[in-house]
Structure 1
């Protein structure tokens, strides 16, 4: 099973990126092949339909990873009720070819209690790219954010029970779909 995580922030120590790294670490502990694509470390040019065959190395690398992936995790900070501009821009560089039939786990970090608006926006985008939204999502906010920030400063990031459960449900969905097993709607 191959999973790609897109860390959708252009801030160095974004909580959503720390959460992406915690998800990556948890999957590594479970011996899942996972690749984290960090948009802070590899910024992409603005998408333009006039430049559809983009020669940018970062765009080509992300497109290659997405083609090879069995499942996708999208992480974002919530900005003004939506996903980050850098994540939306990265998704604009992708198409149905990269998402069709693949499970996607949406993850957000919000300044308030939870980032529901950004999660709904990501799920709408995934549907339009013909991806399969995981029935669970992960959102951290408020005091949860400070826990991740403190743990990151200490070099240890641990997912809480709820996040582990959502990740487990997502990975089970990836496993079923990639093996061709019938999936029941819940």
Structure 2
């Protein structure tokens, strides 16, 4: 019995150390020199006075395309709300990896994405998902071009049309992609069910709760864009990236000194 006591005390001591470490107020894994407190001034810069720059992408090539009609409805509303809006025509855009990035349509898309401060993605739902045409456009926009990230910190609104009952599958996928592209995806969204019933002979959206939600989304996008565009650099300034860049710099300096 006596011979077991030292071992028991040792085990208890180790357990006590582990519990104490877990409750410690120190930060052994943190590199303090790369941690920055939130800069309230950087979060509240003077507002830019130019019109919010919004890019609209839609995911259909059909002659009668309800996603295109919805995209134009959003364009009109955004312009009415004081935005400068451009739409990308996906016809002629090659499949990802089918052509080099120097392809004119790819260059056009990337330049528009870089120009924009906010975006609207409008896709039909096909087989329970966004269309390949919608996904191809997103896939052609890289996460980074050298030191430039074409979508990081930009706002995003998402909309979908479907031929049947209301669904949110395409919206859910686009919301995931928006996060992956490091965009600020606004909380509101629009799903237009039985879209063939929601537009008149002139291609204009009829009065309905669906239309009201589209207005809601456009209003919210403009507000979020105005609120975040001037603070975007501070909002997307990350500890992990500052630490990584410092490590890369140290390595380059070390190599030059050899």
Whether 2:131 is the aligned partner of 1:84: answer: yes
Structure 2: segments with no counterpart, 5+ residues: 1-51, 144-148, 236-258
Choose between structure 1 and 2: higher strand proportion.
Answer: 1
**1:1-150 counterparts in 2 under 5 A?**
1-39=52-90, 42-48=91-97, 53-96=100-143, 97-142=149-194, 144-148=195-199, 150=200
Number of positions where the alignment pairs a residue of Structure 1 with one of Structure 2:
175
SS in 2 for 1:177: helix
Report the CA distance between 1:180 and its aligned residue: 2.1
Q: Is the 8 A contact 1:8 1:87 kept in 2?
A: yes
Q: TM-score, normalised by structure 1?
A: 0.86
> Of the two structures, which has the highest relative contact order with CA contacts closer than 8 Å and spacing of 6 or more?
1
* C-alpha RMSD of the superposition: 2.1
Report the TM-score when normalising by structure 2: 0.63
Please list the CA deviations of residues 4-61 of structure 1 after superposition, one character each: whole Å capped at 9, or x if unmatched. Answer: 000111212211110000010111222310001122xx3311111x86x512111101
- Deviation at residue 63 of structure 1 after TM alignment: 0.3
Q: Distance in 2 between matches of 1:16 and 1:173?
A: 23
